[in-house]
Structure 1
Amino acid sequence: MRDVLVTLIVFGSLPLILRAPAVGVLMWVWISVMNPHTQGWGFAQTFPFAYVIGVATLLSLVVARGPKGLPALPCTWLLLAFIAWMNVTTLFALFPAAAYGQWNKVMKIMLMSLVTMMAIRSRQDVHRLIWVLVVSLGYYGVKGGVFTVRSGGTERVWGPEGSFIGDNNAIALALIMTIPLMYYLHQNTPRRWLRHALTGAMLLSALAALGSYSRGGLLAIAAMVLFMWFKSGRKLMLGSIVSLAVPLLLVFMPARWSSRMDSIGDYQVDDSAQGRINAWRMAYNLARDRFFGGGFEISEPSTFLRYAPNPTDVHAAHSIYFQVLGEHGFVGLALYLLLGVLTWRMAAAIARLGAGRDEWRWAASLATMVQASLIGFAVGGAFLSLVYYDVPYYMMAALAAVRVLMRDARPAPVPPVGARAAKSRTARGTARSMGD
């Protein structure tokens, strides 16, 4: 039944996609982020829904009327530069066959990220994009939260198998990034029942993140909550809610969970932490030796044998920073970090320009909540290999659309008093000459 439902939704959306590329983007985000086909049990698990939607969206973008270019913003050009650099490093990859397979996957993600920036144009499009992200990830948050309650926190929460967020640490970070977006919708939704539903989804998603037993997730949610409190105009109220909710959530979790979280400070004797550090040092040594890095898919025994302090402990990077460093060198890391900085600055500019203006209050709220999500991603991503996770790129696309909307809506500058007087005299002189 689930397989049939997903199939009907996808193929039923094709006429709408061909009419409006923004619909295609929303469908693509739903398929790629939620992976609804993985929740079925039959043919839908392997059917190429993403390919069908991607082709229809690209066709719609070609034939659709209206502006189609990329937004002329610094983050756009830097994203293009990062994509170009990844293509260059792939030419010098240590393992060409494996690198090509990953390159093919990453380039599809980057292509659709650029398409998202081209198709998402209006406030309605932005709002719908946030809703799709929230529903797609909130589904696993609510499901995982209920599972944590039913199991008493004794079992770990996992994401959809075979996806970016299948790992317990990855689903925790994804849910943490989603909570601020839920809060944005809560602030900008007039329906009371929907606000209550979003409140429940936020609590269950936080509980699911804790139920994943992710230590990096705990650090990420702490950093995100601290940022949201700092940015809040009602610090006392938010601080009181957090002070009441956090102890209740922590007390609910069993001793096994507390023991694992306590191991954060004992990384010297933790095998998992030492494996990560070994992989980080390998990536650093590789980047020092090779200007272009190792290309995609470098976590191979031969690489560790040459560059790692412990050549027998072969691990994935488990860090967005060391992953991009090892795969694309110091230039790639600089481009990736600068892309994050420019996205952050774009959000800050939106929040600053929208402050105190009723018509842009929603934009300022969205920008601040995206910043909270990025804080969570920056902290939690330090322990996960999620450089190519598509959700941060969709958030950047949403911010780019808002920034362009604000820029295009600016009123024409008022000329100085002297200029206005001179213009008035010129107009009167013209009128007299016409009268003569």
Structure 2
Amino acid sequence: MIDLALFLFIMALLALGTRRPFLWVLTYIYIDILTPQRIGWSITPALPLSLIAFCAAFAGWLAVDSKRDMRVGVRQGLMVLLLAYAFLTTGWADFPEDAAHKWGWVWKALVFAIFLPFTLTTRLRIEAAALVMVLTAGAIIINGGLKTALGGGGYASLYLFVNDNSGIYESSTLSTVAIAIIPLILWFTRHGTVFLPDWRVKLFGYALVFACLLIPVGTEARTGLVCIAVLALVMLRDAKRRLMVLMAGGVLGLAALPFLPQTFYDRMETITGHQQDMSASTRVAVWNWTLDYVEANPWGGGFDAYRGNKFTYELPVEEEAGETTTIVTREEVTDEARAYHSAYFEVLGEQGWFGLTVWLLLHGLGLVQMEVLRRRWRMKAALDTGDGDAAAVTDGWQAPLASALQYGQIVYLVGSLFVGIAYQPFVLLFLALQIGLWNYCKTRESAARETDRRARRARLRTKVAQTAAAPS
């Protein structure tokens, strides 16, 4: 029944797209995040749904959309450069078959992220894309939040729509995404127009935020706890009474402690004592191996180059010797073919220093651009200049959206220190949303400046005519 419902829902979206081709873009976003072909077992896996929506989105844009306001941003250029270089490194990859498999989904994610900003030419489209991203990820998050609240969960055992701990369904990845979209959810409770922010929207939004906060508990992912702390810090920037917010957050945190399972405490303790945790110790060992690897291979080893690693490290082991005595011994552990467990080291090992530089520029420019929009459009809203796009200015939605996208990106950049999600499709869609907002605001600013120039010229012509007509 679920398989049939998913299939009919996607077919309905594709059919509606014949009247509104932008719906095909939203359909691809939905499929790319939820991956219904992994949820179903007969109809949806048998059809190339992702490819159908991918082609339909491009065809609809080429055939119908106006190209008048199309802008090619610097960050889109960086994505193209990263795409081209990833293609080159795939050609000389240490493990050609594995690299080709990863390239098979990375290029699609990058190409669509490059393309998506071209379609985000209005506020409605920007909001619709963000809404589909939030609600699609929210479907997974609500599922996980309910299971956590009902006593389910556990590290690598919080099963969601699929019994597969990979992609966005991987514990640490889902925890990072769940916390990163919280600012975007809160934006919809204040500035949304698709669903006006009445009490029902606010109630659903706050409930979804609560579900997002439950995901790190249900997955017992240490990354999620770090992301919560980072989000709390960055959101203090917009708080009017920061001390009160800090105190309220502390009280809520303490009130939640009795309801957390003991396994969660045990898992979180390893954040400060990583030397005694095999998973954390392995990550450090892999990072050291990656630094040694790029010293010999500065241009990278292609996708999945980590499969060539092999290392031995010492892990402290505590043994009870009596009631009050604990003996700590060191045990040698040999491991190989361990993943990077960090987006930064993932790009470094696979695309070398050049790829890492491009990737960091892509994200660094995003933070800068969102900060520029945040300050500029907040000032426009305050001044209410009426510069040709009065409705857009007085509504004041651009600056809060830029802040939400910036905060979400900061959460991702911190969380990705410990998770290999450099090319995660959801994150690339998030970046595309930033680029779309930047291009939209730049277009509106250009139009406003052109309107001002025409108004000044008209006033000047009127003044000249009046001067010429005046009696001497």
Cα distance per residue 1:337-395 (max 9 Å; x no partner)? 11000111111111111214053521111111111111111111111111111222222
| Residue in structure 1 matched with residue 403 of structure 2 by the alignment | 368
Worse-matched range after superposition: 95-104 or 363-372: 95-104
So what's the TM-score if we normalise by structure 2? Answer: 0.83
Q: Does structure 2 conserve the Cα–Cα contact (< 8 Å) formed by 1:154 and 1:254?
A: no
Q: Pick from 427, 439, 461 the counterpart of residue 392 of structure 1.
A: 427
Give distance in 2, aligned partners of 1:421 and 1:136.
51
Deviation (angstroms), 1:57: 1.4
Residues 311 and 240 of structure 1: CA distance in aligned 2, closer, same or farther (over 3 Å):
closer
Deviations 1:381-426 (A, max 9, x none): 11111111122222222222222222222322767xx999976664
User: Structure 2 matches for 1:270-285, cutoff 5 A?
Assistant: 270-285=277-292
Give the Cα separation in 2 of the matches to 1:296 and 1:431: 75
- Name the residue aligned to 1:217: 224
SS in 1 for 2:181: helix
Q: 1:264 aligns with which of 257, 271, 279?
A: 271
| Structural RMSD (CA) | 2.8
Distance in 2, matches of 1:194 and 1:422, equals 50
Deviations 1:177-231 (A, max 9, x none): 1222111111224211110111111112201222211111111111111101223
Q: Give runs of aligned pairs for residues 331-350 of structure 1, distance below 5 A.
A: 331-350=354-373
For 2:241 and 2:40, the matched residues in 1 are separated by: 44
| Cα distance in 1, alignment partners of residues 422 and 203 from structure 2 | 34
Is the deviation greater in 353-362 or in 221-230?
A: 353-362
Q: Work out which of the residue numbers 181, 185, 188 in structure 2 matches 1:185.
A: 188
CA–CA distance in structure 1, aligned partners of residues 62 and 462 of structure 2: 47
**Which residue identity lines up with residue 99 of structure 1 in the other structure?**
A
- Shift of the 332–388 alpha-carbon distance from structure 1 to 2, 3 Å rule, reads same
After superposition, residues 122-161 of structure 1 pair within 5 angstroms as 122-151=122-151, 156-159=157-160, 160-161=162-163
SS at match of 2:208: helix
- C-alpha separation in 2, matches of 1:190 and 1:260: 38
Aligned equivalents of 1:99, 1:153: Cα separation in 2: 33
Change (3 A) 1:137 1:65: closer
The question of 1:286 aligning with 2:293 is answered yes
Q: Please report the TM-score for the alignment, with normalisation by the length of structure 1.
A: 0.90
Correspondence for 2:390? none
Alpha carbons of 1:308 and 1:426: their partners in 2 closer, same or farther (altered >3 Å)?
Answer: farther
1-side partners of 2:255 and 2:92: how far apart?
52
Aligned-pair identity in percent equals 23
| Residue 304 (structure 1) aligns with | 309
Is the partner of 1:151 in helix, strand or coil?
Answer: coil
Which ranges in structure 1 are unaligned for 5 or more consecutive residues? none
Structure number with higher helix proportion: 1
- Pairing partner for 1:197 from 204, 222, 228: 204
SS of alignment partner, residue 312 of structure 1: strand
Does 2:172 correspond to 1:169? Answer: yes
- DSSP-derived class of the 1:355 partner: helix
The residue that corresponds to 2:63 in the other structure is 63
Question: How far apart, CA to CA, are the structure 2 residues paired with 1:93 and 1:283?
Answer: 15
Q: Secondary structure at the match of 1:268?
A: helix
1:429 CA displacement:
6.2
Question: Is contact 1:172-1:212 (8 Å) kept?
Answer: yes
Partners of 2:117 and 2:433 within 8 A in 1: yes
Letter in 1 for 2:309: F
For residues 32-88 of structure 1, the C-alpha deviation after alignment (integer angstroms, 9 at most, x for no partner) is 112234344443245321111112112212211401886332212211111121122
Distance 1:148 1:297 in 2: 33
Report the Cα distance in structure 2 between the residues aligned to 1:409 and 1:426, rounded to whole angstroms.
30
Output the amino acid matched with 1:92. Answer: W
Q: For 2:144 and 2:170, locate their aligned partners in 1 and report how far apart those are by CA, in whole Å.
A: 13
AA matched with 2:59: L
Q: CA 1:129–1:419 in structure 2 vs 1: closer, same or farther (change >3 Å)?
A: closer
Deviations 1:144-194 (A, max 9, x none): 222112117667534544551222112111211122211111122421111
Alignment partner of 2:305: what SS? coil
Q: 142-151 or 8-17, which moves further after superposition?
A: 8-17
Equivalence map 1:216-235=2 (5 Å) = 216-235=223-242
Say whether the 8 Å CA contact 1:319–1:382 is kept in structure 2.
yes
Q: 2: CA distance between counterparts of 1:255 and 1:14?
A: 47
Equivalent pair of 2:153/2:159 in contact (CA under 8 Å): no
Matching residue of 1:404: 439
Give structure 2 stretches of 5+ with no counterpart.
314-332, 382-392
Q: Does 1:329 align with 2:358?
A: no
CA contact (8 A) 2:342 2:416 kept: yes
- Which residue identity does 1:325 align to in structure 2? L
Letter in 1 for 2:437: V
Q: Please state how far the C-alpha of 1:14 moved relative to its aligned partner.
A: 2.1
Judged with a 3 Å threshold, the aligned counterparts in structure 2 of structure 1 residues 215 and 338 are, in CA distance, closer, same or farther, namely same
Query: Which amino acid in the other structure matches residue 402 of structure 1?
Result: L
1:244 aligns with 2:281: no
- Stretch moving more, 20-29 or 308-317: 308-317
Establish whether residue 317 from structure 1 lines up as the match of residue 340 from structure 2. yes
